[in-house]
């Protein structure tokens, strides 16, 4: 092949690519129409599709695809079929805010489901106000979002850090009231630090004088916890708290179980649920485990057992594994979306709502989940019950699920509107334990 | 590439960018960030002239961004924050430079990498001050005392980035043509000869290093003011790698290369992410491989070869 043809071919390809890109870009110039019924309801979903947090992101994407199919088969929302646009959160917040703009301004999505990562949520929420686009914070847990500012277009369709930490703390105080020392081993990033701050504030208010023997924050993404385990074996704390998740939690539990740390200390693991299937029979019994909500597969009394079974079995059939909590959080977001559109369409007596009307419909909305109902408060925060119990191995599941379960009503463990979580936790009085519902054997 | 051809290319590029930003509002944001990254890569290009690759240049990018994040609540004025960030990065560049310009090649690269990772850890671990990996929100900023509406704000940031990019590109071109700039190439070919000529190589390197740090800081400030949220991720080694990637993609042959590379990089990433959300990394990697295999001079190399063919 002679050189000139080579160059011209390359030039042709480049030219084609460049003009293609511009055409594609030009596509976005279409003006956003007024509130007339669209041919499809576009939903932008940001989730982790790569990196360590994809253990949450990929199952939630699968759940979203399943739900979109189910909803469309049943006629869509208000007769309009759904279409999901997925965005990978892994490249970081500065890339994600660009992707958020693309979803809103180019793909013309009606709603955005934003983020597993708290950092992503903090970056996207102010954009929802700027671009006036209803945004459902479908999985992130930081309490900062609604405590540090008002966001009229953002709603969190699930619980958040404070109740997810306070519920296991109360459970521990009730079931093991005489513990005297504690150690913490959390991932070294915002959630690991935040959750410990929340726990410490609550613990010091409800049971002053507990000795903190070690605060360990191994590097995010660690694969070896032998130093930490050795230290814990030597220190013999009554309780070990770990809010770690994903592969790291699996590794920590495996390594700690091998060295019999679980026989010496009671573990409290508020985010354990998503790792139980990977751990299988390795997970020791008798430790406090949580699920960032009330959606354990063995929920003792789901509000709608048929819906719960439909969701769990549908997911299992398709993907050959049990749904984990991010799948349920995705289902909650879709359920909220359906309920809000129904409410908004009814308020307009059949008309299609615009962005402002849609956001109004979310405020104070109550929607069903397979296990319960969730109400969105006036600040946008959802009230999701918390289900905590002691790990146990049984016949029904090939992995650990809780027994002696307590369903904490969301209002009891959530910071009241307008208060900061840490301040509120510091003001707690031990009589809150008396309000705790009785455990259910399960 | 001849001077006229380069000026023409720059003009064409500016026109294309403004058109794209006007035609697709959401691209305005992507292009602003691309120009900001291009600015930081332009700084790396200076060091590349001396044959040195800094694997930790995102440190200055993050420093600029965090300067904006910390100072913005007190001084919400873009025209003050931008020079302040560049200046602070310049000072940091001088202090770090005094130390790292004594080293060459892999040692230079690795020392930069190490320092940037130290900075990353500081941002991540000093949780009470920096809010850790969740990052800091940058409040809305005013420009020359006026706080514009969102649409105008986007145009202003885009214009600011474009203006700064042009200014720096012209400046770098002039600098590289000057004796100081020529001495950089001397470091690459044979440093000892430079010393024999009576030119202190370290000082030449230090000057380039400080300049590149300032451009990194300005780029970081622009990113912070555009995305309005900064996280320690900006200082992580992957972002340094990204800057090098852009440098290779664009080509080191011209001051326009970094911007061409940055725009191509961001567009490929955005469109790859939109088309295949879970395999965009593969497409990005494929593009880099293709550039290395078929166009070692980068995008700018393809263009200038084209130009020569026609001439």
Per-residue model confidence (pLDDT) at position B280: 82
Q: How many CB atoms lie within 10 A of CB A257?
A: 17
Judgement on whether residues A175 and A320 belong to the same structural domain of the protein: no
Q: How far apart are alpha carbons B117 and B123 in whole angstroms?
A: 10
- Chains A–B, number of C-beta pairs less than 8 Å apart: 127
CB-CB neighbors (< 8 A) of A4 in chain B: 309
Q: Report the alpha-carbon distance of residue A370 to residue A383 in Å, rounded.
A: 15
- Residues of B within 8 A of A190 (CB-CB) are 127, 131-134
In B, which residues are within 8 Å of A58 by CB distance? Answer: 278
Helix (H/G/I), strand (E/B), else coil: B58: helix
Looking at the structure, do residues A391 and A276 belong to the same domain, yes or no? yes
Give the Cβ contact number of residue A239 at 10 Å.
21
Which pLDDT value is given to residue B310? 64
Cβ–Cβ of A94/B278 closer than 8 Å? no
Phi and psi angles of residue A361, each rounded to the nearest 5 degrees, phi first: -65, -30
Residue A297, pLDDT score: 87
Q: Which residues contact B112 (CB under 8 A, 6 or more apart)?
A: B54, B55, B56, B57, B59, B100, B240
Residue A158: helix, strand or coil by DSSP? coil
For the stretch A394-436, pLDDT in tens is 888 999 999 999 999 998 999 998 889 999 999 988 888 888 8
The tokens of A406 are what?
A: 């307590």
What is the nearest CA distance from B28 to chain A, expressed in angstroms?
Answer: 9
| Residue of A189, A389, A385, A376 lying closest to A289 (CA atoms) | A389
Q: Does residue A31 sit within a domain? A: no
Rounded to the nearest integer, the mean pLDDT of chain A is 87
pLDDT at A24: 45
Contact A146, A379 (CB under 8 A): yes
Interface of A with B in 52-81 (CB under 8 A): 58
Q: In this predicted model, what pLDDT tens digit does every residue of A29-85 receive, in sequence order?
A: 333 445 778 899 999 999 999 888 889 999 999 999 999 999 999 999 988 999 999
The distance of A121 to chain B (nearest Cα, Å) reads: 9
User: Pairing between strand A401-408 and A111-114?
Assistant: unpaired
Name which of B16, B35, B273 to mutate to probe chain A: the one with the most chain A Cβ atoms within 10 A of its Cβ.
B273
Q: Residue B76: what pLDDT?
A: 85
Probe site for chain B from A65, A98, A144 (most B CB atoms < 10 A) = A98
> Distance of alpha carbon A98 from its chain centroid, rounded?
22
Position A13 scores a pLDDT of 47
CB-based contacts of B6: which residues, under 8 Å, 6+ apart?
B173, B254, B255, B256
Residue contact A102–B233, C-beta within 8 A: no
| Chain A residues whose beta carbon lies within 8 Å of the beta carbon of residue B309 | 4, 7
Residue ranges of chain B with per-residue pLDDT less than 70: 1, 307-311
- Residue A131 sits in a domain whose CATH number is 3.40.50.2300
The whole-angstrom distance between B265's CA and the closest CA on chain A is 12
Question: DSSP string of A277-293?
Answer: HHHGGGSPSS-EE--SS
What are the residues whose beta carbons fall under 8 Å from the beta carbon of B203, sequence distance 6 or more? none
Please tell me the total count of domains within chain A: 2
Rg of chain A on CA atoms, in Å: 23
If we measure between CA atoms, which residue out of B71, B61, B89 comes closest to residue B136?
B71
Instruction: For residues A253 and B300, give the distance between their C-alpha atoms in angstroms, rounded to a whole number.
Output: 53
pLDDT given at position A94: 80
* A284 and A415 housed in the same domain: yes
Instruction: Find the closest chain A residue to B130 by CA distance.
Output: A190
The sign of the dihedral angle between the CA atoms of B262, B268, B274, B277 is negative
* Residues A167, A154 within the same domain: no
Contact residues on chain A for B267, CB-CB shorter than 8 A: 21
> How much is the pLDDT for A23?
41
Residue B26 to residue A28, Cβ atoms within 8 A: yes
Confidence of residue A93 (pLDDT cuts 50, 70, 90): confident
3-state DSSP call for residue B57?
A: coil
* Residue B209: φ, ψ to 5°: -65, -45
Contact B29 A101 (CB under 8 A): yes
Q: Are residues A53 and A150 in the same domain?
A: yes
- Which pLDDT belongs to residue A425? 92
pLDDT at A215 over 80: yes
Q: Which residues from chain B sit within 8 angstroms of residue A193, using beta carbons?
A: 127, 132
CB A235 within 8 A of CB A176: no
- Establish if A111 belongs to a structural domain: yes
If asked whether residues A308 and A282 sit together in one domain, one would say no
* Residue pair B307/B269 in contact by the 8 Å Cβ criterion: no
Residue A285 vs residues A225, A270, A364, B240: alpha-carbon distances, Å: 21, 15, 40, 45
Closest CA to A111 of A98, A121, A100, A97: A100
Q: What is the CA radius of gyration of chain B?
A: 19
C-beta of residue B126 within 8 angstroms of C-beta of residue B66: no
Pick from B61, B275, B160, B270: nearest CA to A96: B270
Q: What is the domain range of residue A126?
A: 41-159+303-376
Tell whether A152 and A166 lie within a shared domain: no
Let me know: does A343 contact A120? Beta carbons within 8 Å. Answer: no
- For chain B, give the mean pLDDT: 86
Q: Looking at the domain that runs over B3-139+151-306, which CATH code has it been given?
A: 1.10.3470
Q: Which residues of A, range 180-239, sit inside 8 Å of B by Cβ? A: 188-190, 193, 220
Number of residues written out for chain B: 311
Task: Tell me if A30 is assigned to some domain.
Answer: no
Q: Does A88 touch chain B (CB under 8 A)?
A: yes
For β-strands A41-47 and A111-114, DSSP reports them as parallel
Q: Where are the alpha helices (DSSP H) in A102-160?
A: 118-130, 144-147
Name the pairing type of β-strands A181-185 and A154-156: unpaired
Could you tell me if A430 and A353 lie in one domain? no
Contacts of A7 in chain B (CB under 8 A): 305-306, 309
* Residue of A4, A25, A92 lying closest to B23 (CB–CB): A25
CA B193, B94, B92: angle at the middle one, nearest 5?
Answer: 150
> Do A128 and A200 fall into the same domain?
no
The first and second tokens of residue B278, run together, are: 């879970």
As a whole number of angstroms, the distance between CA A417 and CA A420 comes to: 9
Contacts of residue A296, defined as CB under 8 A and 6 or more positions apart, other chains included, come to: A273, A387, A389, A401, A402, A405
A119–B231 C-beta distance less than 8 A: yes
Pair A94, A213 in one domain: no
CA distance B100 to chain A (A): 27
**Could you identify the residue written with the tokens 């002679």?**
A2
Q: Among positive and negative, which fits the CA dihedral A71, A291, A304, A367?
A: negative
SS3 state at B255: coil
Report H helices in A320-427.
Answer: 325-347, 355-362, 410-413, 421-426
Question: pLDDT grade, residue A442 (50/70/90)?
Answer: low
pTM of the model: 0.84
Residue A176 and residue A268 in one domain: yes
- The interface predicted TM-score of the complex, written ipTM, equals 0.81
DSSP, res A189: S
| Backbone phi, psi, residue A363, to 5° | -65, 125
CB contact under 8 A, A91 and B269: yes
- What is the biggest distance separating any 2 CA atoms in chain A, rounded to whole angstroms? 86
Whether residues A111 and A216 fall in one domain = no
**What single string gives the DSSP state of each residue in B128-176?**
HHH-GGG-EEPPP-BBTTB---HHHHHHHHHHHHHHHHHHHHHHHHHHH
Q: How confident is the model at residue A2 (pLDDT cuts 50, 70, 90)?
A: very low
The DSSP element (H or E) to which A83 belongs, if any, is: strand A82-88
Q: Is the pLDDT of residue A18 over 90?
A: no
How far from A57 is each of A63, A281, B28, CA to CA, in Å? 10, 24, 29
Q: A129 and chain B: CB distance < 8 Å anywhere?
A: no
Beta bridge partners, A239, equal A182, A266
Return the percentage of chain A with pLDDT > 90, whole number. 59
**Residue range A181-192: mean pLDDT, rounded:** 89
């Amino acid at each position: 092949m002679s050189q000139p043809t080579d160059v011209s071919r390359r030039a042709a390809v480049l030219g084609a690519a460049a003009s293609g890109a511009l055409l594609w870009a030009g596509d976005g110039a279409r003006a956003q129409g007024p509130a007339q019924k669209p041919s499809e309801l576009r939903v932008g979903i940001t989730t982790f599709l790569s990196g360590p947090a994809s253990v949450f992101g990929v199952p939630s994407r699968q759940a979203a695809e399943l739900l979109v199919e189910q909803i469309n088969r049943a006629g869509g929302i208000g007769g309009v079929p759904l279409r999901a646009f997925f965005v990978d959160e892994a490249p970081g917040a500065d890339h994600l805010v660009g992707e958020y703009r693309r979803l809103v301004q180019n793909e013309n999505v009606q709603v955005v489901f934003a983020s597993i990562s708290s950092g992503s949520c903090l970056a996207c929420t102010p954009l929802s106000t700027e671009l006036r686009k209803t945004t459902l914070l479908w999985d992130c847990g930081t309490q900062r979002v609604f405590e540090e500012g008002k966001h009229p277009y953002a709603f969190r369709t699930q619980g958040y850090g404070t109740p997810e930490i306070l519920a296991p703390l109360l459970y521990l105080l009730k079931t093991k009231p005489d513990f005297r020392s504690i150690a913490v081993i959390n991932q070294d990033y915002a959630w690991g630090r935040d959750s410990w701050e929340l726990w410490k504030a609550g613990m010091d208010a409800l049971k002053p004088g507990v000795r903190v023997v070690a605060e360990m924050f191994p590097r995010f993404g660690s694969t070896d916890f032998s130093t930490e385990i050795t230290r814990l074996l030597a220190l013999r704390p009554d309780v070990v708290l770990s809010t770690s998740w994903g592969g790291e939690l699996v590794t920590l539990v495996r390594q700690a179980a091998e060295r019999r740390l679980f026989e010496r200390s009671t573990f409290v693991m508020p985010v354990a649920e998503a790792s139980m299937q990977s751990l299988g029979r390795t997970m020791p019994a008798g430790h406090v485990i949580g699920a960032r909500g009330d959606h354990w597969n063995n929920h003792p009394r789901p509000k709608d057992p048929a819906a719960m079974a439909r969701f769990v079995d549908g997911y299992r059939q398709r993907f050959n594994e049990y749904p984990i909590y991010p799948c349920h959080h995705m289902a909650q977001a879709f359920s909220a979306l359906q309920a809000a559109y129904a409410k908004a369409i009814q308020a307009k007596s059949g008309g299609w709502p615009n962005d402002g009307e849609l956001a109004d419909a979310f405020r104070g909305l109550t929607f069903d989940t397979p296990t319960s109902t969730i109400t969105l408060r006036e600040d946008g925060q959802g009230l999701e019950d918390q289900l905590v119990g002691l790990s146990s191995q049984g016949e029904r599941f090939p992995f650990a699920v809780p027994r002696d379960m307590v369903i904490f009503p969301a209002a009891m463990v959530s910071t009241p509107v307008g208060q900061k979580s840490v301040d509120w936790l510091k003001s707690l009085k031990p009589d809150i334990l008396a309000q705790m519902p009785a455990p259910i054997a399960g | 590439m001849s001077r006229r051809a380069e000026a023409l290319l720059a003009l064409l590029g500016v026109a294309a960018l403004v058109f794209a930003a006007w035609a697709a509002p959401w691209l305005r944001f992507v292009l602003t960030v691309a120009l900001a990254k291009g600015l930081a890569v332009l700084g790396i290009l200076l060091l590349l002239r001396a044959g040195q690759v800094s694997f930790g240049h995102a440190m200055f990018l993050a420093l600029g961004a965090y300067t904006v994040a910390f100072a913005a609540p007190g001084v919400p004025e873009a025209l003050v924050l931008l020079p302040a960030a560049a200046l602070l990065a310049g000072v940091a560049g001088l202090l770090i430079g005094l130390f790292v310009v004594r080293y060459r090649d892999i040692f230079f690269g690795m020392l930069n990498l190490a320092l940037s990772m130290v900075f990353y850890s500081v941002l991540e671990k000093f949780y009470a001050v920096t809010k850790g990996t969740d990052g800091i929100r940058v409040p809305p900023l005013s420009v020359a005392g006026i706080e514009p509406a969102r649409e105008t704000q986007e145009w202003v940031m885009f214009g600011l980035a474009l203006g700064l990019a042009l200014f720096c590109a012209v400046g770098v071109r002039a600098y590289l043509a000057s004796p100081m700039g020529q001495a950089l190439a001397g470091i690459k070919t044979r440093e000892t000869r430079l010393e024999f000529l009576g030119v202190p190589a370290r000082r030449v390197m230090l000057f380039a290093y400080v300049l590149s740090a300032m451009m990194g800081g300005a780029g970081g400030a622009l990113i912070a003011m555009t995305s309005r949220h900064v996280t320690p991720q900006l200082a992580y080694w992957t972002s340094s790698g990204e800057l090098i990637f852009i440098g290779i993609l664009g080509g080191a042959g011209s001051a326009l290369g970094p911007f061409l590379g940055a725009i191509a990089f961001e567009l490929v990433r955005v469109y790859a992410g939109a088309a295949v959300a879970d395999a965009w990394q593969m497409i990005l990697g494929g593009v880099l491989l293709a550039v290395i295999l078929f166009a070692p001079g980068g995008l700018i190399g393809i263009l200038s070869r084209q130009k020569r063919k026609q001439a």
